């Protein structure tokens, strides 16, 4: 189980995550965490949360976002809510670290996904094996997905690869990362 104050790093995206309010603490209403996006961090690929609103509040530095095709840089003291169903991504294009508070409403299973994703990326120092990625992504595809390729292609591709991945022993949940 993820705990408040638990720190995880993702060298792929270039950030450190600290869980501040867990799914359990909020009764599933939200998940809150802080991100320290390193200078020049590549951030996330473009995605859509189909069932969750995501809010960003920059505490220090600045964070770049692409929301519904429009680029924007949030600076310290600024915030933005990305409504569910809206394509978006973030990165840090500046030369200083960004400290950002992020909240997802409702929490759903994003805490489990993030803990396992960060754990796998950190342990390997790169993206996980494609079959491992397929198992994890396929498990959470109904909550959120990449914007490319089209969703039906992702469902077929990740679904088929996840079957092979599970046969080879890959899992969507590892207790060492998410309890």
pLDDT in tens, 79-101: 999 999 999 999 999 999 999 99
Cα–Cα dist 22/19, whole Å:
7
Tokens of 30: 């939200």
Please, what's the b/e burial string for 156-171 (b: 16 or more CB within 10 A of its CB; e: otherwise)?
A: eebeebbeebbeeebe
pTM of the full predicted structure? 0.95
The pair phi, psi for residue 83, each rounded to 5°, is -65, 150
Tokens of 106: 């409702």
Give the residues across from 88 on adjacent strands.
Answer: 47, 67
pLDDT tens, position by position, 137-164: 999 999 999 999 999 999 999 999 999 9
Cα–Cα dist 17/14, whole Å:
10
């Amino acid at each position: 189980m993820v705990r408040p104050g638990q720190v995880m790093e993702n060298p792929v995206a270039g950030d450190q995550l600290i869980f501040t309010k867990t799914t359990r603490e909020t009764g599933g209403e939200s998940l809150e965490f802080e991100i320290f996006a390193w200078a020049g961090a590549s951030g996330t690929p473009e995605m859509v949360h189909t069932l969750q609103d995501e809010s960003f509040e920059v505490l220090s530095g600045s964070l770049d976002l692409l929301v519904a095709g429009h680029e924007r840089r949030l600076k310290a003291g600024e915030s933005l809510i990305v409504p569910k169903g809206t394509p978006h991504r973030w990165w840090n294009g500046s030369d200083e670290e960004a400290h950002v508070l992020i909240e997802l409403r409702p929490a759903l299973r994003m805490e489990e996904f993030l803990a396992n994703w960060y754990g796998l990326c950190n342990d390997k120092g790169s993206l996980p094996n494609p079959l491992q990625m397929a198992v994890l992504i396929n498990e959470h595809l109904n909550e959120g997905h990449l914007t490319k390729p089209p969703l039906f292609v992702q469902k077929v591709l990740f679904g088929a690869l996840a079957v092979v991945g599970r046969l080879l022993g890959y899992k969507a949940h590892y207790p060492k990362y998410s309890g």
